[in-house]
Every structure is written in C-alpha cells, then in structure tokens.
Structure 1
Amino acid sequence: MKRYCLALDLKDDPRLIKEYEHWHKKENSWQEVNDSILKAGIVNMEIYRTGNRLVMIMETDDSFDPIVKAQMDASNPKVQEWEALMWKFQQPLPWANDGEKWVEMKRIF
C-alpha cells in the first residue's frame, strides 16, 4: 500500500466552491469516474479543503501507476467530461508545471 498526498486550488469564489463540493457528495459523484479510480488501483481517496486549497489523499495498491492512470483517464470520455467540468472550479497552483492540475506533495514529517 502506498499513500499519495496532492494539492490543488479552487477558484476563490464561494459560489464555485459550494458547487464543487456539491459534485463531490456521494450522491452527486459519477459512477464511471468512481469505477475508473478503483480500476486504477486506488483503494481509498479523500479530498479536504481549507479556504480554496484542496488536499487529496490517495491510498493505492501495488498495481497503481500514475502514468497508466493518466493514460486510462485520457482514453475515457466520461472521465474527460468530469475533468472538464471540474476545471470550471479549479486553478493550478502557482508552482505547477504547464498542464499540471494536482501537484504531489512532499512528505516532510
């Protein structure tokens, strides 16, 4: 089992933040996206928010490979539709690479 911790910012707009949280309630999430997460070897995923900063914690099994997950996502129209919808609410961290959304955090303790 491996744990990943990633960060991303939301646009600093209370209305957009409320809508983002709406889409992440269990009853509003998309089953196809949830299935793609499990299929990639992610056994648990949690997202936390403070202000407009998000932190995602993922626990993965030994089969998880971030590169393979990105390839799977790129070829899945429903995941691409979800990502396009989420980009309405999200913005890259100032130090993110071009095209990078979620940035892996460095464990320091």
Structure 2
Amino acid sequence: MSTRYTLACDLKDDPELIERYKQYHAPGNAWPEITDSIRGAGILDMEIYLTGNRMFMIMEVDDTFDFEAKAAADASNPKVQEWEQLMWDFQQALPWAPEGVKWILLDKIFKLE
C-alpha cells in the first residue's frame, strides 16, 4: 500500500536560475547521495512539475515513510545538507511558509469520483 503526498515550493523568479535548477534535476544529474536518501526514506516515486516559478512535487511513499524521520536523517547527512543549501540558491519559500520551510504540503480539495 502506498500513500501520495503533494507539495509546493517556489523558485526565485529569475529565468537563468530556473534553467540552472532544471539542469540539477535533469535525468541523471541529481546527486546519487540525494536519490539514495530519498529511496532510503521509503519514497517509492517522486516527480516535480514546474509552472512559471512555482513547483509541485508528487511523492508516492510506502508504509515506512515518516516526514519527521526523513527530516532527522537529512539533518544528519552532510551531503544532503550540502544539496539543500545549494538548492536554497534557487528556491524561495512560499509567502505563507513557516521560517526555513521550503516544501509545503497541499490540501486535496477535489477528487473525481
């Protein structure tokens, strides 16, 4: 059984920065330590979509996934911290995000039934 989470984050509204960010996320360009940490946390699949400077992430996770455990593991992983610091060069928090929070969970408001 898997669970889907959707999240949003903004990029700085600068076409050159957005292109560089897209290059970091192009197939094969994400650092292997990052993809390993994602998979190791119980994330089965992850996609990021972009419109303008707003990104949307879709994560499919297994029953072992826990946001707090992932955050703790990331905080103790120097390579993940290096990646996250680098990504802050491109990202900006949503206006309503708590201090230091990049990705905000989305509320599902509709499902076709």
Q: Same fold (TM over 0.5)?
A: yes
CA distance in 2, matches of 1:13, 1:107: 29
> What residue is the counterpart of 1:38 in the other structure?
39
What is the count of residue pairs matched by the alignment? 109
TM-score by length of 1: 0.99
Is 2:80 the counterpart of 1:83?
Answer: no
Aligned equivalent of 1:59: 60
Match of residue 17 from structure 1: 18
> How far apart, CA to CA, are the structure 1 residues paired with 2:99 and 2:61?
26
SS in 1 for 2:18: helix
Bigger proportion of residues as helix: 1
User: Which residue of structure 2 lines up, in the alignment, with residue 70 of structure 1?
Assistant: 71
- Identity fraction in percent: 61
Query: Map of 1:90-109 to 2, 5 A cutoff?
Result: 90-109=91-110
Q: Which runs of 5+ in 1 are unaligned?
A: none
Structure 2 residue runs without a partner (length 5+): none
